[in-house]
Amino acid sequence: MDTGSSLTWFPCTSRYLCSECAFPNVDPQKIPKFMPKLSSSTKIVGCQNPKCSLLFGANVESRCDDCAPGTKNCTQRCPPYIIQYGLGSTVGLLLVENLVFPRKIFDDFLVGCSLLSNRQPAGIAGFGRSAESLPSQLGLKKFSYCLVSRRFDDTGISSPMVLETGSDSGDAKTPGLSYTPFFKNEVATRPVFKEFYYVILRKILVGDANVKVPYSFLVPGSDGNGGTIVDSGSTFTFMERPVYEPVAKEFEKQMGNYSRAKDVESKSGLGPCFNISGHKSVNVPELIFKFKGGAKMALPLANYFSFVGEDDVVCLMIVTDNVVGQGVHGGPAIILGNFQQQNYYIEYDLANNRFGFAKQNCVA
């Protein structure tokens, strides 16, 4: 379930191949696959089908050699799609199929029949902002979820996801939630940026210290790069290096009485990491994100520090890359990932264009 992309797709046909997919608990030879020929409601999307243009734009017919503009009853299918993710990719053909819920069936739901993937074995439900996303196709007013703690990763514990399609309830807020508005990156130079749920992050606090983050990274620039998005499909919160470094240095400063675990940092790519052996108690400064409108996300310790490798080493669970300068990297400067969202009730209020959250035990 990915709020950072929009197409819903699954492994499809007996020819499906997935490279670099030998993850723990995943046998690439035994990935469940959807078989279109066994479904009476599956249809391949044609080149002139309006749903084809959701992915390829209004001029897609110019890419369909057998369909001259104005041609009636063209039988050529929509071009294959290629989707790139932060880690991995997938290639396939578009289908329409019935999406079945206990009390409602959505006919002609656009899905991807993926034939080849890299590092993406299981399929993705796209919850982004584009027209082909699940929320857009279902006409959702809002959706919400509550991600259980990662200490339950090896169990069957789950939590509900709520999709609301009912009549517009006005601008009533869910009691107990803090809200900040979404905004669309209208100057984005890459179409994928328009799929993202951007929010405006005003300040990052480590303990009582207001971290000095260059303003140019907090809001998208004239080229569309920069800013903050909320992404359920990213594991850890990502920060461009000019944002990450002052945050990391503030943790180093305030936790200077603990020795650094440099060996764990070099092996894991995380940092800073600290050796806490011999300490009866550990004092870690609070990490707080302050958003436009006054919403404040004061993260629980388990959402930003974790034991890594050894029982006596803890690391900051925020990642960066080795590229200096967002002009080179491009894209959002900050990505609020799902590790930081665990044990939060998260609401995407689409009707009122706002993001809501509140701490909550997601297995209660």
Residues listed for the chain: 364
Phi-psi region of 77 (alpha: psi -120 to 50; beta: other; left: phi over 0): beta
Look at residue 260 and tell me whether its pLDDT is greater than 90. yes
| pLDDT at residue 70, as a whole number | 62
DSSP 135-161: HHHHT-SEEEEEPPPGGGTTS-----E
Q: Which helix (H) or strand (E) holds 242?
A: helix 241-254
The CATH code of domain 164-359 reads 2.40.70.10
Closest to 351 (Cα-Cα) out of 131, 137, 171, 129: 171
Judge residue 317's burial from the number of C-beta atoms within 10 Å of its C-beta, 0-12 exposed, 13-18 middle, 19 or more buried: buried
CA 318-356-272 angle, 5° bins: 10
| pLDDT at residue 325, as a whole number | 35
- C-alpha distance from residue 268 to each of 312, 313, 338 (Å): 15, 12, 19
75 token code pair: 């039988």
- Name the more confident of 325 and 54: 54
Phi-psi region of 186 (alpha: psi -120 to 50; beta: other; left: phi over 0): alpha
Please write the tens of the pLDDT for every residue from 200-253: 999 999 999 999 999 989 998 888 899 999 999 998 999 999 999 999 999 999
| Residue 183: other Cβ atoms inside 10 A | 15
| pLDDT at residue 73, as a whole number | 67
Return the minimum-mean-pLDDT range out of 113-127, 303-317, 336-350: 303-317
Do the domains spanning 9-138 and 164-359 agree at the CATH topology level? yes
Domain residue ranges of the chain, discontinuous segments joined by +: 9-138, 164-359
User: pTM for this one?
Assistant: 0.92
Closest to 97 (Cα-Cα) out of 44, 52, 22, 156: 44
Please write the tens of the pLDDT for every residue from 5-44: 999 999 999 999 999 988 887 888 889 999 999 999 999 9
3-state secondary structure of 253: helix
Please write the tens of the pLDDT for every residue from 321-351: 863 333 345 789 999 999 999 999 999 999 9
Percent share of the chain, pLDDT over 70: 92
Asked: is 9-138 a CATH 2.40.70 domain? The reply is: yes
Q: What is the C-alpha separation between 291 and 219, in angstroms, rounded?
A: 12
Q: What is the C-alpha separation between 270 and 10, in angstroms, rounded?
A: 32
Inter-residue contact 76 to 47 (CB < 8 Å): yes
| pLDDT at residue 186, as a whole number | 77
Q: Which helix (H) or strand (E) holds 115?
A: strand 105-118
Please write the tens of the pLDDT for every residue from 231-241: 999 989 999 99
| pLDDT at residue 60, as a whole number | 76
| pLDDT at residue 323, as a whole number | 38
DSSP 161-216: EEEE-SS--TTPPPTT-EEEEEE--TT-SSGGGGGSEEE-EEEEEETTEE----HH
Look at residue 72 and tell me whether its pLDDT is greater than 70. no
Gyration radius from the chain CA atoms = 22
